[in-house]
Amino acid sequence: MHRNHARSAAVGSSTITVTRSRCPAAACIGVVAVLLGLATPGSASAATHQDFTTEAFQNDCLNAHNMYRKQHDASALTIDQKLVAFAIGRAKTLAITETMKHDAQGYGENLAWKWSSRGANPVPCTVPVKEWYSEVKEVDWSDPESLPKAPRFTQVVWRATTKLGCGQAATVNGRQGGVWTVCVYDPAGNMPGKFSDNVHRSS
């Protein structure tokens, strides 16, 4: 029987998936959701990485984000190659260190990790983006104070964000393996005091 584990996270407001989200300021909120608990034993040798980032992957990420943004009255994002390069570097770091840790350096950031007993294969970007967006269920639209509790969702639809770059890499010869997805955003979302202006209810 095949098993799947995943994590997801976000910055800036802010598969399976462990996901995390983060913002650039001290008020940044991090969320880690670990599903199906156990990691698999890996090789004792030092971990390396395999880059899964392609142009098709970038377009997949862009289209997934813009589909959700349209539902929340947010303008479409565009791919920024500087952000792409940064995200690829971040995905490489996560794959080698096998650690879900934010280092957005002023950008917004969403993170995701997925493991499968079938081995490391590219993960469609729709998978982590859907996981990040699903945090919308944590929002009570009658209470604006609930918005910061869903930082991955809010970064995906943050109206002031205009540019996107994503990267994906797999861990090779690591302790647990898996595939790491990173999306970074500029300007960053999840800025204190700006949630009501930047996150609208689905129309």
Task: Please write the tens of the pLDDT for every residue from 55-74.
Answer: 999 999 999 999 999 999 99
Are the beta carbons of 69 and 157 closer than 8 angstroms?
yes
Task: Please write the tens of the pLDDT for every residue from 1-13.
Answer: 444 445 565 544 3
Are the beta carbons of 16 and 148 closer than 8 angstroms?
no
Higher-confidence position of 109 and 17 = 109
Predicted model pTM:
0.80
Please enumerate in sequence order all residues whose Cβ is within 8 A of that of 40, keeping only pairs 6 or more positions apart, or say none.
115, 117, 176, 177
Task: Please write the tens of the pLDDT for every residue from 163-180.
Answer: 999 999 999 887 888 999
Are the beta carbons of 166 and 156 closer than 8 angstroms?
no
Query: Which band of pLDDT confidence, cut at 50, 70 and 90, is reported for residue 97?
Result: very high
Query: Which band of pLDDT confidence, cut at 50, 70 and 90, is reported for residue 117?
Result: confident
